[in-house]
Amino acid sequence: MYNDYVALTYHASLLADEYRVRAFQTAIESVVRPGDVVADIGCGTGILTLFACRAGARHVYAIDDGPIIELAKLILRQNGYAEQVTCIDRPSHQAALPEPVDVIVSETIGNYGAEERIVPTLWDACRRWLKPEGRVIPRALELYCAPVTWPEPEPALTVWRQPVCGFDVSPGVPFAISQQYARRLRPEHLLAEGQCYSRLLLTPEALAGPAPPKVTGTAVFQVNRPAVMHGVGGWFRAALTASVGITTDPAGSQTSWGHLCLPIAEPIRVETGDEVAISLTSVGGGSLLRWEVTWRGAGGATRIFRHSDFEGWLATPERLRPLAEDAAPGLSSKGQAQLFSLTKLDAGWTIGQVARGLHERFADQFPTLEDALVYVKGQALKFARS
Query: Could you give the count of Cα atoms lying within 13 Å of 348 in the half-sphere of its Cβ?
Result: 0
Nearer to ligand SAM, 95 or 157 (CB): 95
Nearer to ligand SAM, 50 or 223 (CB): 50
Say if residue 153 is exposed, middle or buried (CB neighbours under 10 Å; 0-12, 13-18, 19+): exposed
* Pairing of β 259-270 and β 227-239: antiparallel
Nearer to ligand SAM, 287 or 338 (CB): 287
CA neighbor of 118 nearest in space, from 240, 300, 249: 240
Q: Which stretch binds ligand SAM (CB under 6 A): 36-44, 159-167, 302-310, 318-326?
A: 36-44
Contact between 50 and ligand SAM (CB under 6 A)? no
Q: Which stretch binds ligand SAM (CB under 6 A): 59-67, 182-190, 205-213, 281-289?
A: 59-67
Task: Show the site string, 88-107: x = touches ligand SAM by CB under 6 A, - = not.
Answer: ---xx--------------x
Contact between 258 and ligand SAM (CB under 6 A)? no
Q: Which of 42, 194, 233, 250 binds ligand SAM (CB under 6 A)?
A: 42
* Minimum distance from residue 345 beta carbon to ligand SAM (Å): 24
Q: Which stretch binds ligand SAM (CB under 6 A): 62-70, 247-255, 293-301, 330-338?
A: 62-70
User: What 3 state SS string does 133-195 have?
Assistant: EEEEECCEEEEEEEEECCCCCCHHHHHHHCCECCECCHHHHHHHCCCCEEECCCHHHECCCCE
Q: Helix 18-31 crosses helix 2-16 at what angle (to 10 degrees)?
A: 70
Contact between 137 and ligand SAM (CB under 6 A)? no
The C-alpha atoms of residue 256 and residue 111 are separated, in whole angstroms, by 9
Applying CB under 6 A, which residues contact ligand SAM? 14, 41-45, 47-48, 63-66, 68, 91-92, 107-108, 116, 121
